[in-house]
Structure 1
């Protein structure tokens, strides 16, 4: 018997949710560049990263995000960023489960003065954390338009050698084929970005692809045949006007697909509860059909769907004997959860992150009665305040940074 008993009192006990795509340390920059900025990435995000990123900001910001994720009922998440060893420290401090992808990119960044230094960094990170109870180290080639063919295949070789996930942005933009073609001129012989990546031997079951907006049936069939997992991020894609994913069609074809938010500069929010109803709303509007997605299908995408996309369906994503003890308790008596005739409808269409009362990861209580139990919050707040002050001071010098 457990040393600690929690009486759920008739509330909803369910698997913890899985956020399949994030850049959690970007929370330090959340809310910047929201006014009439021509290019958020180049005009705001890149200058912020160049000036401010360091190990301390990445670690403290990751801890801030991990607290927020836990309070929203997310027990596992996949992340892509820099200095992921610092992210790992923060995530373990809070007690969440993280699939952490060290970024590989074709230009100098904070943790590598040379292009593609992330390859060596990722290999060291993987060796350090392989076998950890909470951290699954991964490699994250940023995107085909920022990573050339040889380095994509080098990243895949590391993924294969160490049997770890590989995370990447894929077919996110309407002009992405042209963007990729500049770095991969031999793609001109192929009908699509996905068919090209398949022909060079890059696609495989360890790949988790984020966004996946611009593809046809043949591309979907290729992704399914190769066992590629997909993160559907509708809030970020609509906020950034990138496009609308054919996630419904991918799900019906049997692809492993779950839900993500993207980083907190993209969708601002990091919970999965409020993504569920958005998934249905966007799909129904796109198809002009009110039938796609039952409440149960949405809850499954938020839990077991995410686990399957990470090839972790055997130990995560559902409450079954023998699986890891990652679960949450949702307040069933909250006004927005009433009358609650159908529990799945209440979760998928009615619940807010604030309805999560308890979050348990790997059998450890991370939050109970809305109180985080694993972190010295006063000490964290002191560090977080210092980070915010530095970011705010620099953001005021950027056009469009702070209005």
Structure 2
């Protein structure tokens, strides 16, 4: 540790940790983080060397240099040890319980969605599996510095319970689709399932409930319009897959003049500021203009899209147009991960390849997309996504002492091209320490290991036989 940093760290301990009982009565904060390089990701992308972040209750009350240590005192002080202090990352598109199926269907199946994903879910999903898989996934997220995730899946009440036990923030969309699923025996049953879930969690400090119609080709016009009205009534988001495949408009069953899924959504009157579209790979300039006009969010999933060979989204064009663009991993069967670290480099490198330009999507812009960009995509930028006074205390500390993190000339480049999940030292959500010095504080992996082993054993043989059938199926993109 640098001598100056050591002096500051010792001073912070003396000021706030070694006082008398009288001094303890003067605490004016709950948590102080010091001795780190603070990436605020504010409008000016301010970086504060030897920075300090002060937290009270669930919010940030001060961000600045070491002079703050003379003004604030807290019962808990965290020494960042010359690490990088930054906003928690936001995984803006996921299907977290699919972590139960991670690593399956990798035999070269063309139509993984309909011939493998859906049959596997139909046979093996249950309320219990969704709860346990969510808990496993939430631990994975916390350990990798993701403090907020957005999800489209089933039994969202179980997902909410598991997510809160781990201590993460989430936007949870109950899936609506035209065929029976694990939590709805009737087509489109997710609409009814969502109502009590939304009413229960509408004012929750960590969970934002949402509707999640699967896609324009799996949800009818009437149901999309019904969901749009309900989302307005409840004031909740609508999460949906859009333009993931090149021929989605041809799969729409309702009569339409639209030549793209985005045009269709606009035509039927459901494209608005509550909508968050995942993927957006095959978007024309007109599509992008419609999305911007509607103030809709877009989630770029570069690693999953490359793995699925579905294409490269025009993320750089949308970023330059000041659209609401965040990053996601997609489900753990699409990218086999829920953390964003490898996604960061994919996000930049795929755009450079697409545009044949090595100067675009510099690391600072990628981190912006992974933090405040995700917050904007979810219309939560007033609450999360940057380290600013008044925002929720969703903060991570990334250590810089490991071999892969040295040297660190530019913190943004270090994060995008060098870091991995194991470099995340501390994760704080809503002012609560979820992980510190790589030790989970809310729940331990060993607590659910037996449950994970049980569902893995149950799934393995069925999945193997399903692969043999699915590999013969025609590609969805043909």
Report the 3-state secondary structure (helix = DSSP H, G, I; strand = E; otherwise coil) of the residue aligned with 2:448: helix
**Partner residue of 1:23?**
95
Moved more, 17-26 or 288-297: 288-297
Deviation at 1:85, TM superposition (A): 0.6
Deviation at 1:373, TM superposition (A): 1.2
**Partner residue of 2:384?**
316
**Partner residue of 1:203?**
271
Q: Is the 8 A contact 2:399 2:425 kept in 1?
A: yes
Query: Which of 188, 205, 230 is the matching residue for 1:158?
Result: 230
**Partner residue of 2:139?**
67
Query: Which of 350, 359, 362 is the matching residue for 2:430?
Result: 362
Deviation at 1:376, TM superposition (A): 4.2
Which runs of structure 2 are paired with 1:66-215 in the superposition (5 Å)?
Answer: 66-180=138-252, 183-184=253-254, 186-187=255-256, 189-215=257-283
1:267–1:400 Cα change, 3 Å: farther
Q: Is the 8 A contact 1:274 1:353 kept in 2?
A: no
Deviation at 1:196, TM superposition (A): 2.2
Q: Is the 8 A contact 1:395 1:401 kept in 2?
A: no
**Partner residue of 2:467?**
399
Deviation at 1:402, TM superposition (A): 12
Report the 3-state secondary structure (helix = DSSP H, G, I; strand = E; otherwise coil) of the residue aligned with 1:278: helix
Q: Is the 8 A contact 2:136 2:445 kept in 1?
A: no
Counterpart Cα distance in 1 of 2:164 and 2:234: 21
Moved more, 375-384 or 227-236: 375-384
Deviation at 1:200, TM superposition (A): 1.4
**Partner residue of 1:342?**
410
**Partner residue of 1:386?**
454
Q: Is the 8 A contact 1:60 1:90 kept in 2?
A: yes
Moved more, 321-330 or 287-296: 287-296
Q: Is the 8 A contact 2:249 2:259 kept in 1?
A: no
Normalising by structure 1, we get a TM-score of 0.96
Q: Is the 8 A contact 2:299 2:328 kept in 1?
A: yes
Larger radius of gyration: 2
1:272 aligns with 2:340: yes
Query: Which of 396, 406, 411 is the matching residue for 1:328?
Result: 396
1:285 aligns with 2:353: yes
Counterpart Cα distance in 1 of 2:249 and 2:306: 20
Normalising by structure 2, we get a TM-score of 0.82
**Partner residue of 1:36?**
108
Moved more, 301-310 or 46-55: 46-55
Q: Is the 8 A contact 1:32 1:44 kept in 2?
A: no
Q: Is the 8 A contact 1:234 1:279 kept in 2?
A: yes
Report the 3-state secondary structure (helix = DSSP H, G, I; strand = E; otherwise coil) of the residue aligned with 1:268: coil
Counterpart Cα distance in 1 of 2:106 and 2:259: 36
Counterpart Cα distance in 2 of 1:102 and 1:384: 23
In structure 1, stretches of 5+ residues that fail to align are none
1:216–1:365 Cα change, 3 Å: same
Q: Is the 8 A contact 2:129 2:455 kept in 1?
A: yes
Counterpart Cα distance in 2 of 1:401 and 1:128: 41
Note the alpha carbon deviations across 1:107-133, whole angstroms, 9 max, x for none.
111111110110011111100111001
1:402–1:177 Cα change, 3 Å: closer
Counterpart Cα distance in 2 of 1:190 and 1:328: 44
RMSD between aligned residues:
1.4
Counterpart Cα distance in 2 of 1:19 and 1:256: 14
Counterpart Cα distance in 2 of 1:43 and 1:198: 30
Counterpart Cα distance in 2 of 1:259 and 1:89: 24
In structure 2, stretches of 5+ residues that fail to align are 1-28, 31-74, 472-478
1:56 aligns with 2:128: yes
Counterpart Cα distance in 1 of 2:469 and 2:216: 28
1:128–1:378 Cα change, 3 Å: same
**Partner residue of 2:314?**
246
Q: Is the 8 A contact 1:145 1:179 kept in 2?
A: yes
1:302 aligns with 2:370: yes
1:260 aligns with 2:328: yes
Deviation at 1:163, TM superposition (A): 0.6
1:11 aligns with 2:79: no
Report the 3-state secondary structure (helix = DSSP H, G, I; strand = E; otherwise coil) of the residue aligned with 1:397: helix
Note the alpha carbon deviations across 1:74-126, whole angstroms, 9 max, x for none.
00000000101111011001000010000010111111111011001111110
Query: Which of 227, 236, 250 is the matching residue for 2:295?
Result: 227
Q: For this pair of structures, how many residues does the alignment match?
A: 399
